[in-house]
């Protein structure tokens, strides 16, 4: 039994008066593994917890109830490491938006400090030869720091965002340290072969290190790189669709939207998700067709509200929604329903099932799980997915209606075509995509990564500095 330590910026819990576990895709993906292996999850507790006594109590409860090991990070460090370096510097750059990217030396210092706290804690907790799986851009320095403290560990790293081209990544003032940090891992995974290719060429051009097929010669050890397209926990969705709550919500929505075609968009309110341009496409569509029988439901969950770019985006979206509604609404008929709140899981599944069309049109997106979730919630195969060619998911779902999210006229036409498709056409295109997701689900994704990590050959470890 090989022990696994899973590491992410935040633990999947919300701590208020009580501890509430949250159920993201990663939690479900790892459920199977947890049942049969020693498992621990290390991450920030979320929110400031200042009293040492409270920290001890929480740590004990999280460990005994869930196998989680919380790290308590001060508010000041969170602002610099998380809001600053991770979300205002790295996130925009990884998404090809250098003009949104801000750099501040103090942010990087905090990022190093927090990554080091993760490394120290894991080094202390990990059994000999354990597997450690690190997730995402908040922890790019961690693989190297951890490798230096504990060379026996098999360290995996998975990037949930795109890895951009060299020309973009080179803009970052800390580009070399970040790459060296990543190359401390034994295995690095990406969603698509495009991201892997960019990583490989960035390593060559910035560090002068060649790669052979799927191996990069690191400092002291070789690094394997691979493609692992993340998927969704299909069982969780299929099970939810048999629940009474789901049926009740679906019935409620069907009554509320009787006689209407429903188009849905679901995302965190984030400038990478392409919402303003989608609204422009909708405006063009309404102007051209004059259709009164289409309702657009936008679920835009609040996200990173302390970052100014997100505050500006919210204002822009609200302005555009209200202009469309002002121009095209009539009494009893409002075209765009903008919901700046989270909806619960059974409602979300019911909305996916209800929707005739899903518009998933990010400007750039590592994968995009919403596209896959929509398809799985269409057991009768009757729906249309309009999907940005710049979402990682487009590589796997070629039968979708693929659009360029910068081309609003093309998106408007795609919407018109989607609404005019016959049921046979809709089913013919949706069925193979749904089959693919059922076959390659989140459990398979996690299983493949962990198996490859466990298979890393540590005997080829070279002397330091080789
Ligand atoms: C990052 C990468 C990559 C959204 N609104 C509600 C809700 N959600 C859930 C969706 C989906 C998740 O949030 C969003 O996942 P995405 O993949 O679409 O996007 P990011 O949050 O940006 O995730 C992305 C992902 O990591 C995984 O590697 O695909 O490219 O950016 O699961 O369902 N869930 C509920 N209510 C909502 O209102 N219950």
Max Cα-Cα span within the chain: 75
Q: Residues with catalytic annotation?
A: 160, 365
Q: What pLDDT score does 460 carry?
A: 63
Using one digit for the tens of pLDDT, what is the confidence trace for 143-167? 999 999 999 999 999 999 999 999 9
> What span, in angstroms and rounded, lies between the C-alpha atoms of 194 and 146?
28
CA 128 to ligand 1 centroid distance, Å: 34
Cβ of 39 closer than 6 Å to ligand 1, yes or no, is no
> What span, in angstroms and rounded, lies between the C-alpha atoms of 81 and 138?
8
CA 237 to ligand 1 centroid distance, Å: 14
CA 314 to ligand 1 centroid distance, Å: 18
Average pLDDT over the chain, rounded to whole?
A: 94
> What span, in angstroms and rounded, lies between the C-alpha atoms of 441 and 25?
10
pLDDT band at 465 (very low <50, low <70, confident <90, very high): very low
Residue 67 has pLDDT above 70, yes or no: yes
Cβ contact 368:95 at 8 Å: no
Cβ of 269 closer than 6 Å to ligand 1, yes or no, is no
Cβ of 92 closer than 6 Å to ligand 1, yes or no, is no
Cβ contact 5:122 at 8 Å: yes
Please, what is the angle between helix 345-354 and helix 244-256, to 10°?
50
Using one digit for the tens of pLDDT, what is the confidence trace for 8-53? 999 999 888 789 888 777 887 888 788 888 999 999 998 788 889 9
Cβ of 183 closer than 6 Å to ligand 1, yes or no, is no
> Which of 30-44, 374-388, 428-442 comes out lowest in average pLDDT?
30-44
> What span, in angstroms and rounded, lies between the C-alpha atoms of 20 and 41?
15
> Which of 46-50, 76-80, 138-142, 284-288 comes out lowest in average pLDDT?
46-50
Using one digit for the tens of pLDDT, what is the confidence trace for 217-244? 876 789 999 999 999 999 999 999 999 9
Complex prediction ipTM: 0.99
* CA-nearest residue, atom 32 of ligand 1: 369
């Amino acid at each position: 039994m090989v022990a696994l330590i899973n590491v992410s910026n935040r633990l999947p819990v919300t701590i208020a008066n009580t501890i509430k576990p949250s159920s993201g895709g990663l939690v479900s993906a790892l459920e199977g593994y947890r049942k049969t292996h020693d498992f621990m999850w290390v991450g920030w507790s979320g929110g400031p917890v200042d009293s040492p006594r409270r920290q001890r109590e929480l740590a004990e409860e999280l460990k005994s109830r869930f196998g989680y090991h919380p790290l308590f990070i001060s508010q000041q460090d969170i602002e610099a490491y998380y809001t600053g370096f991770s979300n205002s510097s790295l996130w925009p750059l990884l998404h090809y938006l250098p003009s949104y990217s801000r750099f501040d030396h103090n942010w990087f210092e905090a990022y190093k400090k927090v990554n080091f706290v993760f490394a120290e804690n894991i080094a202390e907790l990990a059994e000999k030869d354990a597997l450690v799986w690190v997730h995402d851009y908040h922890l790019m320095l961690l693989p190297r720091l951890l490798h230096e403290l504990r060379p026996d560990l098999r360290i995996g790293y998975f990037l949930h965002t795109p890895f951009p081209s060299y020309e973009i990544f080179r803009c970052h003032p800390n580009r070399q340290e970040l790459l060296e940090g990543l190359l401390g891992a034994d295995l690095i995974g990406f969603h698509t072969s495009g991201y892997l290719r960019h990583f490989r060429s960035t390593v060559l051009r910035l560090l002068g290190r060649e790669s052979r097929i799927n191996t990069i010669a690191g400092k002291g050890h070789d690094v394997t790189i691979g493609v692992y397209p993340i998927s969704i926990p299909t069982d969780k969705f299929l099970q939810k669709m048999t629940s009474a709550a789901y049926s009740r919500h679906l019935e409620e929505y069907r009554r509320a939207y009787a006689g209407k075609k429903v188009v849905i968009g679901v995302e965190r309110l984030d400038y990478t998700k392409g919402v303003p341009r989608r609204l422009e496409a909708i405006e063009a569509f309404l102007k051209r067709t004059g259709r009164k029988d289409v309702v657009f439901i936008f679920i835009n969950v609040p996200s990173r509200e302390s970052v100014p770019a997100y505050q500006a985006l919210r204002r822009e979206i609200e302005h555009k929604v209200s202009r469309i509604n002002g121009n095209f609404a009539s009494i009893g008929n409002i075209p765009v329903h903008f919901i700046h709140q989270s909806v619960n899981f059974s409602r979300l599944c019911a909305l996916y099932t209800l929707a005739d069309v899903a518009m998933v049109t990010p400007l750039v997106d590592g994968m995009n799980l919403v596209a896959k979730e929509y398809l799985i919630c269409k057991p009768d195969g009757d729906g249309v997915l309009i999907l940005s060619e710049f979402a990682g998911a487009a590589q796997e779902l070629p039968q979708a209606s693929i659009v360029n999210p910068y081309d609003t006229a093309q998106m408007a036409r795609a919407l018109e075509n989607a609404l005019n498709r016959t049921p046979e056409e809709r089913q013919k295109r949706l069925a193979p995509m749904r089959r693919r997701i059922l076959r390659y689900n989140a459990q398979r994704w996690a299983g493949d990564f962990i198996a490859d990590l466990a298979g890393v050959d540590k005997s080829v470890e070279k002397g330091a500095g080789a």
